Structure 1
Amino acid sequence: MAIADWLMIIAVLVGPIIAVQLTRYLDSQKEVNERKIIIFKTLMATRAYNISWAHVEALNRIDLEFDRNNKKEKAVIAAWKEYLDLLGNSSIGAEQWTIKRIDLLVELLYKMSQVLNYDFDKTHIKNSSYAPRVHGITEDEQIALRRGLLEVLEGKRQIPISFSNLESSKK
């Protein structure tokens, strides 16, 4: 047998193995990228609702999905760390904290958009979300109701009861 014949046999035997391994590698890379995109899309969709469960979960997944060894992704992790540091900081006044929180979230989303090849600028990220006022009002009312109910259950508040039309019911 000639060398060409041996090379043909090796190619026939090894070719499918290489093709399968290459396919598995490409599928794995696609899966990793998809998880990053899901995080980004969730954060973009919930950026006006930063206390939603989905938003918080997506933030907490950044460390799991973005690679510290990749230069662009390392910038995402650094932006996340800075944002996380602010989220746990109670020494800043509420108004200043809110302004800084928005700026740091915008920076984080901008860095993510660059890694994931989305064409968003910071102004678009900051100003292009829709959050109806009624959602905020509803959330505030739900918080007040929960607090009030807890105060009643803890004995700190009583439920006011009043009777009316007592005389008309006697007739």
Structure 2
Amino acid sequence: MNESMQLTNLHTDWAVVWATLIGPIIGAFIALFITHLREDIVGKKEQRIRIFTTLMGTRSLPLEPEHVRAINMIEVVFYGKEKVIAPWKEYIKHLRTEQNDNNRAVWKENADKLLADLLFNMGNVIGYKIPALEIYRGGYHPGGWDVRQKLNNDVLLFMASLANGADRFPISVRMDNPEAPHQEGRNP
């Protein structure tokens, strides 16, 4: 009996040694795993919130580079969230349809509604309960931005037509009236 007690004590001693050596290592791995998992979850949520707030802030400015960048990031950051990915696909599909002067107003209205639906679903996934109608009707940008954007587009189109040879640069020549009295300091 004494011999079996010694064997049990020996096994117990070795178990204590192994637990003492391996326990902290396993604990460190578990802590690292939990930290990584938490950072991944928190980081993903922060990315989702950043994209959502960017799109909310630029929803009336769809041509802004930060708006376009945020739209393109949805596929990655909301991967696996079908409530977001499905309306995102519909919105992208609509954006790829052709618009012209005849359908521009209807096209824009549909794009705005699809974007509002997308933002509504994104908000629900990350915990914002903003009604879809508020998203659709919300947002502000000064009317002058539309004027500036139209002028910029007109200039770009004109420059492109000049470069392609489809248009000419309008030049007018003005002649001073030769019979007008000569002003001092000016060459005739």
TM-score interval, smaller chain: 0.7 to 0.9
SS of structure 2 residue aligned to 1:105: helix
Structure 1: unaligned runs, 5 residues or longer: none
Which residue does the alignment assign to 1:28?
A: 40
Report the Cα distance in structure 1 between the residues aligned to 2:141 and 2:126, rounded to whole angstroms: 25
Aligned to 2:64: 52
State which structure, 1 or 2, has the greater radius of gyration over its C-alpha atoms: 2
1:161 is aligned, of 172, 175, 183, to 172
- What TM-score comes out, normalization by structure 2 length? 0.78
Deviations 1:56-95, CA, capped at 9 Å, x for gaps: 1211111112122xxxx21100001111111122389322
User: Which aligned pairs between 1:24-103 and structure 2 lie closer than 5 A?
Assistant: 24-68=36-80, 73-90=81-98, 93-103=103-113
Aligned-residue offset at 1:46? 0.9
1:131-151 Cα offsets, whole Å, 9 max, x none, are 100111001111111222223
More off after superposition, 36-45 vs 146-155:
146-155
Shift of 1:19: 0.8
Match of 1:122 in 2: 132
CA distance in 2, matches of 1:138, 1:93: 22
Q: What TM-score, normalized by structure 1, do the two folds share? A: 0.84
Aligned length: 167
Q: Which residues in structure 2 correspond to 1:121-140 (within 5 Å)?
A: 121-140=131-150
Please tell me the root mean square deviation across aligned C-alpha atoms, in Å.
Answer: 2.4
Deviations 1:113-155 (A, max 9, x none): 0011113111221222111001110011111112222233333
